[in-house]
A and B are shown apart, each in its own frame.
Chain A
Amino acid sequence: MSKRVAVLDGVKIGLEIHCQLTALKTKLFCSCSSDYRDKEPNELVCPTCFGIPGTLPLLNERAVEYALRIAIALGCEVPQRTSFYRKNYFYPDLPKNFQISQYDKAGGVAIASAGSVRLEEKRVRVRRLQLEEDPGKLTYEGTIDKSPYSLVDYNRAGIALVEIVTEPDFESAREAKTFLEKLRAIVEGLGVSDGELEGAMRCDANVSVKGGARVEIKNISSFKEVEKALNYEILRQSTFSGTEGGAEAETRHWDERRSITISLRTKEGEQDYRYFPEPDLPTLELSPEFLRRVREEMPEVSEVKAERYQGEFGLTPQMAKEVARDAKVADFFEEVVSKGAKASDAANWITGEFREEVRTAAASGDGRLKAGDLVELLKMLESKEATRGQAKEIFRGMMTTGKGLAELGKSTRTGVVLDESSITGLVEQVLRESDAVEKAKSDPKAFNYLVGQVLRLEPKADAKLVAKTLARKIKR
């Protein structure tokens, strides 16, 4: 059922993701530990994050750096200065009954805006990024609408959050989920957040079907739930489409246990957050020097890198992803290319049968991987100074012994046998001795086996020429 709903026309989904900067040691505005998971309730609080009167927020500079890493990775525009705003609303999980957040209207400038993320063939636009504090956590007895009381734990209050808001560019629940997985990989790659941690990445969504009213869905706890919640909501709303009035603009709550969304409040009663600039925090200058430092210190995320490899080196998406997956391997790849190798050849080599060995060797960083030698090796291959088999033998030798090409090249017989008559002789010899000849006529595996037999007789034989000759022979 969900599959059928997921491809419905006219679905528009926007996401609002709250991503905790879990790599930070302390909270956003005080020096309390941010390691709040599995702690006793209200253990990690101080006068500031508990909202004791007279305390003042002190901005965690590292949080700004981490938020900017995300901004840069998502290709956002970063302003010269940004400021904090108070978002005013009463809720028991908010120690001050306002949240220090950011605002991009009425003179406010969020820390980043106008980015995008490539999602297969389309681009999803990121409207803005905001840095803000997490509220505490409420525990209800039973369900939110029936609980006789709620318990408040402020350990989470003040944890640094980056809010990422997309444009309504998703057309299916599946697409939204794919984006979230990519986003998680990005923030993890940036070393700013561990999306696997419970509650580290939370998502609200807005959904409209066929130009109907926009419905917000809150309380989606995991990415698995996102797809379920969105598909439920798309189905729910599509039953309204065509009826008078259509779906109502409202905020709904995803009830994970019952797998349904329930109405929280209609938009008519929508809250007015009375935003205004936080007077206790001066405007934050994001100087070019500061941004340069952030750029220099941030690791390039494989997702972003893969996109670059496609553009810069013309790698296929699959190949680019494969090379970029491991940062050390990617570094090696870039070194090889910078020293003159053809990018597609280098990528093929690195991600081919030696993939695991290359990864291990790159990770060890002990110098076994010699970029210059691989460049030479690839050139030898191209110029037919070595066969594929010989090159592989040399490369394997490099990685197991740590010796260089100069040394290994001597002990490996190189040079390619290109002489057609001697190859024809070898092919005929194999055909005489093998009983797989009949099979090789129709089965490529058997055919390759025969090619291998020829190469065993003469490792220097040019594999392509062998295959050509063999094909001619057995078809005859």
Chain B
Amino acid sequence: MAKLDTPALEQSFLNNHGKNPIRAWLFSTDHKRIGILYLLSIGFFFLVGGLLGGLMRIELIAPGETIMDPQTYNGVFTVHGLIMIFLVVIPGLSAVFGNFFLPILIGARDVAFPKLNLLSWWLYIFGAILAISSQFLGSGAPDTGWTFYAPYSTETGSNVVLAVFSAFVLGFSSILTGLNFIVTVHRMRAPGMTWFKMPLFPWSLYATAWIQVLATPIVGVTFLMIVAERLFQIGFFDPSLGGDPLLYQHLFWIYSHPAVYIMILPAMGVVTEIIPTFAKKHIFGYKAIALSSLAIAAVGYFVWGHHMYTAGMSGTARWFFSFLTFIVAVPSAIKVFNWVATMHKGSITVRTPFLYTLAFIFLFMIGGLTGLWLGALATNVHLHDTAFVVAHFHYIIFGGMGFAFFAGLHYWYPKMFGKMYDEKLANVAFVIIFIGFNLLYFPLFIIGMQGMPRRYADYLPEYTGGHFWSTMGAIVLITGALLMIYNLIIRTRKKGTPAEMNPWGGKSLEWTLESPPKEHNFDEIPTITENPYNY
């Protein structure tokens, strides 16, 4: 990465200027360096989480014990969820591309609080160390699932305290990033950039940041209540201590449902930037897209009860949460229609980032539409806590957020590192990933409908077919992902060609900068007269 072989790299933010490289990176307050620190750490944990997921799929290739006993399996799906949720998808796009591109896209030289930004990354690393230690220290790896449902989580002998404390610390990292972005968007926009001249990725980051700031403290406190109940027998959730198990679920999902929007909103923002660039056409319905992000963030707060239809809530609460759940589907649909309409009468070039974007729309639709199946009361009763939920969730989070992340990575890679990857190889990797993904997760919809519960270390023989194909899909997916990583890291390092300033012909501010950008981004802060979609 720091191989300086082009003139652009000489002046770029990647140049350490003779400073100790470790110090110059780990203690840098440059938003671009922090974005890359997040990229590397999140990328690492994505591989660890993916490997654990692969091990689960191998265990489930056939009924009976294949490679691990049930206790190990329960630990593995817990740490898979813990890593993927708290270390990969929640920071995900905001922490990587938000950090790198939010200031650039609004014409600023950094975020509002650069030191706080560095602290966020260090808190992330500290939280990650705690999460990993919880696997090895104390009385055994946590076996509660990432949801930590009480009273199981307050009674199990495994090391829950450290695991929930790690999530508590990671929550602070998320809150501080959100706070930083809110202030940055409010205070640091370039002269002339009014709210409705701001690009749509910053809009989505802004909506996300409010959820991070307002919802995360709730789950933080909830996790402390688990710790208090385990260490001091204070009865919040365990009925044998006078607590209420449903209270835990309410508090947990008040955060964890909006958390899904923390994951998906920036993903929607990224594809909203990519589509106009490759269609060479103004984004269709700018205001509708901007405001639908806020609508999702707002309504998304009031749908958490749809995780609890079968938990013993009152009948009124059940239909009310179902009603709101259906309403929140509308702003997502608006976005899909606007994306497709942007392509209408465009002048389209199909490059790697655009392929990932098309796949994103397709997979996100499957995730979203199956969300309606789960939001409907009658079908939820049958589907709740089955493999159908696992498939739906992965279509939204991996098919949605993950594919948008890959799209953003291929879109901005030349800008971030000043090198162009091998696009043919990138497209081959894309096809393998797309096929593997669908083969992995689609069968889970079917066996879920047939009654295969989730979090099962073993299963009845009638589900063997679906599980077998799902495991095959995992192997294909991992192959494709490794090929993508090889292409982006190893091959590009050796054979990558220097990237142009504007390889895709985009109109937003990052394409007016060198690839990679200078440390202070802009020599002169630009004055904005129009939004960046006027092709």
Do these two chains really belong together in a complex?
Answer: no
Residues of B within 8 A of A (CB): none
